[in-house]
Chains A and B, each alone.
Chain A
């Protein structure tokens, strides 16, 4: 067992666990998403949120639920408990298979507002930009910035370019974009500084019925190009539901 985690206080109501680079268990690389799933399964008392992001995760807990009579602080007690649970041999962090989510994207220039600018900046054709973007399988490194917004890791290094100089005040909902070395999908209309390559009709977040985010940290995402006609058909299907 070579899992190496470090524990630090994130204030007095959260623990920050950092995965050292290349943390592994057996042959499996440990991801923050898988570790979060594992810890969720412990059903720790007084824990409200377990939030993974890239190589770290925060456990938000109520110190009142971790009071001990032995003079240990609640922080020391929850860390001791986690350390004990996370070195035991029965934990198999890869237990949960990552789901692969296929996201249909229309890369028409009407929606890919920055396609032309990026092709000019990089000196490659618009088709090359699209191919580079949709030829890889991404993994969700973090969810944040806005409800359901996923930071997708795996972007081709050619497309790792600085953000727009002037952020847009309104990026249309469903915009598929690149920025900061990641790809991402805007779940709702938001301000944003990423470059927009296309648009999807897929719902990334639903508050109705308390569904929440479509993607979780650790999920895999593949973009699939659709024509503008198919994109319009998707709209009809959306409204029919």
Chain B
């Protein structure tokens, strides 16, 4: 065991589906193992950067309803992703900044107002055993996280102190009479569900099957609005809308699949594969959602409207590289900001 100081986080109430995640379990798909990992990777990266952690350090992910947690030690945390209106003693905790939480404090989660997935990074190291190179919770296969399941009331998480955490605490000067301490600045404009009344656009790289469909089918598919159904989960985002006729001949064997693959089962209602997707799939696919639209995809809430727009693989990759550069720039500037805290 480590000789470092450690603190505890007690789960008072678990929310809807609160799990430990990291970047995911890549490298094991040929064994039939799902990749899993944080659904909204950008939000995970930002939260970890805000507390001075490694960008892919284990993080707590919550879905639709946030957990209530009790901290047994002083911790620096950061919230990102959808807004779950976390509060301490009724005081709202702002998103996108490092927050000093005092020992003995209860943090209360709420229903998310603008997206599906939220994240809390904790400065230090969440003490979770890696399985096949990742701590990500795969609830389907019961791997990783806490016993391969979502958190439940009574669970206790151990956080091991890191030098970065201690340095952060030193810089964030304590003042009396507050529920928590936060700087005045915050990271802005990353994930925000802009006017949920409007349809969101998912760009997709078409498959051979899509190119083989009649122009009429392709046209009606791209003109239609697809609504996210409540059956959506970490395995897939299920849609309802104009039925897509795949002009399917006979049974075809399963094919390798990826996150964002837009599968069309016989009923013509698309299912877009998400983070806990399997490694191969039997339904024909019209294409794959561009990686730059991953956040838009996973943060959809039931009832949201989506539209499909074609994008070439070259344009999708150009956009992805731009986004990766922008993220690297943001992470650097967060790094500077937290060095200058006082």
Q: How distant is the Cα of A74 from the Cα of B291 in the complex, in angstroms?
A: 14
User: Which residues in window 63-107 of B have CB below 8 A to A?
Assistant: none
Q: How distant is the Cα of A210 from the Cα of B130 in the complex, in angstroms?
A: 10
Q: Does A227 make an interface contact (CB < 8 A)?
A: no
Among B140, B280, B290, contact of A53 (Cβ-Cβ < 8 Å): B280
Contact flags A1-35 to B (C-beta < 8 A → 1, else 0): 00000001111111010000000000000000000
The answer on a CB contact under 8 Å between B313 and A145 is no
Please judge, given known A-B contacts A147-B33, A207-B131, A210-B132, whether A51 and B279 are in contact too, CB under 8 Å. yes
Please judge, given known A-B contacts A11-B288, A144-B280, A145-B278, whether A216 and B254 are in contact too, CB under 8 Å. no
Q: How distant is the Cα of A217 from the Cα of B255 in the complex, in angstroms?
A: 13
- Which residues of chain A are within 8 angstroms of B26 by Cβ–Cβ distance? 48-49, 60
Please judge, given known A-B contacts A10-B256, A10-B258, A74-B317, whether A143 and B30 are in contact too, CB under 8 Å. yes
Least CB distance, A99 to chain B, in whole angstroms? 15
Please judge, given known A-B contacts A144-B278, A145-B32, whether A58 and B317 are in contact too, CB under 8 Å. no
Contact flags B304-335 to A (C-beta < 8 A → 1, else 0): 00000000011011101100100000000000
Least CB distance, A61 to chain B, in whole angstroms? 11
Interface of A is mostly: mixed
Q: Does B119 make an interface contact (CB < 8 A)?
A: no
- Which residues of chain A are within 8 angstroms of B259 by Cβ–Cβ distance? 11
Please judge, given known A-B contacts A8-B208, A53-B280, A67-B321, whether A13 and B291 are in contact too, CB under 8 Å. yes
Q: How distant is the Cα of A217 from the Cα of B257 in the complex, in angstroms?
A: 16
User: Which residues in window 125-151 of A have CB below 8 A to B?
Assistant: 141-149, 151
Q: How distant is the Cα of A143 from the Cα of B33 in the complex, in angstroms?
A: 9
The answer on a CB contact under 8 Å between A73 and B313 is yes
Contact flags B253-289 to A (C-beta < 8 A → 1, else 0): 1111111110000000000000000111100000111
Among A12, A50, A51, A147, contact of B290 (Cβ-Cβ < 8 Å): A12
Q: Write the chain A residue with the least CB distance to B316.
A: A12
- Which residues of chain B are within 8 angstroms of A121 by Cβ–Cβ distance? none
Least CB distance, B29 to chain A, in whole angstroms? 4
Least CB distance, B47 to chain A, in whole angstroms? 22
Q: Does B224 make an interface contact (CB < 8 A)?
A: no
The answer on a CB contact under 8 Å between A148 and B31 is yes
Find the residue from A49, A146, A149 having the highest chain B CB count within 10 A: A49
User: Which residues in window 24-81 of A have CB below 8 A to B?
Assistant: 36, 48-58, 60, 63-64, 67, 73-76
Find the residue from B35, B259, B291, B313 having the highest chain A CB count within 10 A: B313
- Which residues of chain A are within 8 angstroms of B141 by Cβ–Cβ distance? 146-147, 188
Q: How distant is the Cα of A149 from the Cα of B275 in the complex, in angstroms?
A: 19
Size of B's binding interface in residues, CB under 8 A: 45
Q: How distant is the Cα of A179 from the Cα of B291 in the complex, in angstroms?
A: 35
The answer on a CB contact under 8 Å between A148 and B32 is yes
- Which residues of chain B are within 8 angstroms of A63 by Cβ–Cβ distance? 317, 320-321
Q: Does A231 make an interface contact (CB < 8 A)?
A: no
Q: Write the chain B residue with the least CB distance to A143.
A: B32
Q: Does A167 make an interface contact (CB < 8 A)?
A: no
Q: Write the chain A residue with the least CB distance to B324.
A: A64
The answer on a CB contact under 8 Å between B30 and A64 is no
Q: Does A202 make an interface contact (CB < 8 A)?
A: no
Q: How distant is the Cα of A11 from the Cα of B258 in the complex, in angstroms?
A: 8
The answer on a CB contact under 8 Å between B30 and A149 is no
- Which residues of chain B are within 8 angstroms of A54 by Cβ–Cβ distance? 253-255
- Which residues of chain B are within 8 angstroms of A36 by Cβ–Cβ distance? 30
The answer on a CB contact under 8 Å between A8 and B290 is no
Least CB distance, A67 to chain B, in whole angstroms? 7
Q: Does B163 make an interface contact (CB < 8 A)?
A: no
Please judge, given known A-B contacts A9-B313, A145-B278, A212-B132, whether A60 and B254 are in contact too, CB under 8 Å. no
Least CB distance, A101 to chain B, in whole angstroms? 15
Q: Write the chain A residue with the least CB distance to B325.
A: A64
Among A57, A67, A210, contact of B256 (Cβ-Cβ < 8 Å): A57
The answer on a CB contact under 8 Å between A56 and B30 is no
Least CB distance, A151 to chain B, in whole angstroms? 7
Q: Write the chain A residue with the least CB distance to B141.
A: A147
The answer on a CB contact under 8 Å between A73 and B317 is yes
Q: How distant is the Cα of A14 from the Cα of B141 in the complex, in angstroms?
A: 24
Q: Write the chain A residue with the least CB distance to B259.
A: A11
Q: Does B205 make an interface contact (CB < 8 A)?
A: yes
Q: How distant is the Cα of A148 from the Cα of B317 in the complex, in angstroms?
A: 32
Among B28, B32, B260, B261, contact of A149 (Cβ-Cβ < 8 Å): B32
The answer on a CB contact under 8 Å between A11 and B290 is yes
Please judge, given known A-B contacts A64-B324, A75-B314, whether A8 and B31 are in contact too, CB under 8 Å. no
The answer on a CB contact under 8 Å between B317 and A75 is yes
- Which residues of chain B are within 8 angstroms of A50 by Cβ–Cβ distance? 30
Least CB distance, B41 to chain A, in whole angstroms? 12
Q: How distant is the Cα of A207 from the Cα of B254 in the complex, in angstroms?
A: 24
Among B143, B207, B258, contact of A207 (Cβ-Cβ < 8 Å): B143
Q: Does B303 make an interface contact (CB < 8 A)?
A: no
Those 6 A-B pairs whose CB atoms lie nearest each other, nearest first: A11-B288, A58-B256, A144-B280, A9-B313, A12-B316, A213-B31
Enumerate 23 A-B pairs (CB-CB under 8 Å) in ascending A order: A9-B205, A10-B257, A10-B261, A11-B288, A11-B316, A12-B313, A12-B316, A13-B320, A14-B256, A49-B27, A52-B256, A53-B254, A54-B254, A56-B256, A67-B321, A75-B313, A142-B254, A144-B32, A144-B280, A147-B31, A149-B32, A181-B251, A212-B132
